[in-house]
Amino acid sequence: MSVEPYSLSPSALTALTQAAAAITSTLDLDRVLNTIARLACTVTRAEASSVLTLKPGTNQLVIAAASGQWREAFIGREFDANLGIPGVVMRTSHPKLVLDVSKERNFHDEIDRLSRHGTRSVIAAPMIHRSEVFGVIEVVNRQDGYDFTDTSLKILQVFATLAAAATQNARAHAELRQRYEGLRDSVMKRQNLLGDSPVWRKTMSLCDRVSSSNATVLLLGETGTGKEVTARYVHNTSPRREETFVAVNCAALPETLLESELFGHEKGSFTGAHAQRRGWFEVATGGTLFLDEIGEISRAMQAKLLRALQEKCIVRVGGTKPVPCDTRIIAATNRNLKNMMIDGTFREDLYYRISVFPIRMPSLRERRTDIAIFVEEFVRAAARECHIAKLGIAADTMDILMNHTWPGNIRELQNVIERSVLMSDGDTLLPEHLPADILDGSRANGDDETGSELSRQERQLITEALEAHGWNQSKAARALGISRYHMRHRIKKYAILKPGETATDE
């Protein structure tokens, strides 16, 4: 076999440069590894290659990627990290060149036997991160019949160094993405995903249905019903979830400032515009722009907003050049836009543009059985902020909270709970810890004979439901159309005991 005497040629340098660009062009780990395997053949002119990585917590090497005819059969196969030429490279942290595997005592021929592939020569180079070898790149057989050379070995080692950095970056990105998704799911669970009432399940079903599309959503409902949190949920469960979510309160900004905030401005377009500034439409390109209180904007601003939605581009204040914006719009209002159209204060064409998929947010009065869930979560959060280890909720306190009308909805409930927790001085939230107006409303409702009769009937209804469903609280709650939290508090309030239980059996 003849040996090709060549130095690091311009073509080799070009191949390495192109390989470096290719393997650093993505942060997807699988794509990085597959690109490494494919380009390892290119830079060394080899017939086939494999990328073997150390399986965490074991002494096994896994074929994470490969090129060549046998790649599909061996992806995912595991080998003892002490065996074969890769094992030598792992132990020594140095690359290895074998011109004739028949004379190499460390050659492990399992792959050859399984694939019927005739390996003649091998180069293997370590992938090293922070002085630790976490993988090996191995190439076999020159395509042109020549032998691998020391230069081939150096080229593969340089390539392995680049590949190691790209692999670790991709792994770090994958870990951060996993943490982000876990945090996002946790945040959504703590916020508006709370609730199990039928009306709320219907609302969430609509959100889930529209989230996968790019349809414009209009959230309608009273103040404090959780419109912004719901908009974030739609964004976070949509294909746009990796991009920016921007929330703008249209009522909080005067018209001149709102236009600049939404569309941006050019340098010198008005006093104080010292530099060009991107607006929220541009910032949210690829993502979602939430326009809260859209019913408060002027007719003139409505016309500009309509144009941006229709043409999917904006013009900065003081500018003339259209700027494309792929921005999804979720709008919200507590006003009756249809009545405003009749009055001439809201444009009909804009209304139909933003209300492609309207969702009515139920008030807390309509989802009364969810109040117990919110109370428990808000008490837990407020107690944590006040460094209170554990704070229970008296049954009488829960009754008062569940029977209040809550004109301010979830926001009002949260504020009341935060204040009440601050007023508490024991391990239980009692009625006297609640604000005076909440207590006054409760006294106005009275606890007379009618109330007592209703309580007796409620206790009987809950007991019968539990008996009918084998004392399974979740099934009984579903049958009654209430949440299991509500069921649990009612059981506690009325001291309902399963046959054979005693009051100390909790």
Q: Is residue 3 situated within a structural domain?
A: no
The CATH number covering residue 396 comes to 1.10.8.60
Which of 213, 220, 215 minimizes the C-alpha distance to 309?
215
pLDDT over 50 (residue 248): yes
- pLDDT band of residue 72 (cuts 50, 70, 90) is low
On whether both 341 and 196 belong to a single domain, the answer is yes
Higher local confidence (pLDDT), 147 or 335: 335
On whether both 247 and 114 belong to a single domain, the answer is no
Helix (H, G, I), strand (E, B) or coil at 363: coil
On whether both 109 and 220 belong to a single domain, the answer is no
Domain that holds residue 477: 368-493
Q: What is the mean pLDDT of residues 489-498?
A: 76
**pLDDT reported for residue 4:** 46
Q: Is residue 505 situated within a structural domain?
A: no
Q: Cα 38 vs. chain centroid, distance in angstroms?
A: 32
Give the pLDDT confidence of 429-449 residue by residue, as tens digits: 999 999 988 887 665 555 444
Which of 256, 320, 258, 312 minimizes the C-alpha distance to 284?
312
Q: Is residue 224 situated within a structural domain?
A: yes
pLDDT over 50 (residue 1): no
Helix (H, G, I), strand (E, B) or coil at 474: helix
The CATH number covering residue 205 comes to 3.40.50.300
Return all residues near 315 (Cβ < 8 A) that are at least 6 apart. Answer: 263, 321, 322, 323
Final residue belonging to a domain, choices 124, 144, 174: 174
On whether both 99 and 147 belong to a single domain, the answer is yes
Q: Encoding tokens for residue 190?
A: 């703590």
pLDDT over 50 (residue 39): yes
Can you point out the beta strands (E) in 315-377? 323-324, 328-333, 357-360
Dihedral sign from CA coordinates of 478, 482, 488, 493 = negative
Final residue belonging to a domain, choices 340, 360, 380: 360
| DSSP assignments along 70-127, one per residue | THHHHTT-EEETTSHHHHHHHHH-S-EEES-GGG-TT---HHHHHHT-----EEEEEE
- pLDDT band of residue 187 (cuts 50, 70, 90) is low
Q: What is the mean pLDDT of residues 313-326?
A: 91
Q: What is the mean pLDDT of residues 126-152?
A: 86
Give the pLDDT confidence of 15-31 residue by residue, as tens digits: 667 667 766 677 778 88
Give the pLDDT confidence of 79-121 residue by residue, as tens digits: 888 888 888 898 899 999 988 888 887 787 666 555 556 788 8
pLDDT over 90 (residue 360): yes
pLDDT over 80 (residue 273): no
pLDDT over 60 (residue 125): yes
**pLDDT reported for residue 45:** 84
Assess contact for 245 and 288: CB atoms under 8 A.
Answer: yes
The CATH number covering residue 170 comes to 3.30.450.40
Q: Is residue 2 situated within a structural domain?
A: no
Prediction pTM value: 0.58
Total number of domains in the chain: 3
